[in-house]
Amino acid sequence: MEITVDCAKDCVNGCVLGEKCPHREHAAEASQFIKETSLDKMLEMAEAARLKKLTEPPKWVIPDDF
């Protein structure tokens, strides 16, 4: 029997699956990024992403039931 876990809800305080977590590779990559990247560099990356989003044209979403 396979247990279904909603990581966004169930793992708020830490992974509940431990070694069986299918996202362990991503967690390792994130930990490595945090270790190797200074906070100033992270803030610089976030500001660049924010400015890029501000300069993008608006995206119109038309509902299907219109």
- Say if CB 9 and CB 25 are below 8 A apart: no
Q: What are the tens digits of pLDDT across the range 5-64?
A: 888 888 888 888 887 888 788 888 988 999 999 999 999 999 999 999 999 988 888 888
Predicted local distance difference test score (pLDDT) of residue 66? 64
Contacts of residue 15, defined as CB under 8 A and 6 or more positions apart, other chains included, come to 7, 21, 23, 27
2 pLDDT above the threshold of 80: no
- Say if CB 34 and CB 22 are below 8 A apart: no
- Say if CB 16 and CB 10 are below 8 A apart: yes
Distance CA 52, CA 55 (A): 5
Please report, for the chain, the start and end positions of each structural domain, with discontinuous segments joined by +: 7-55
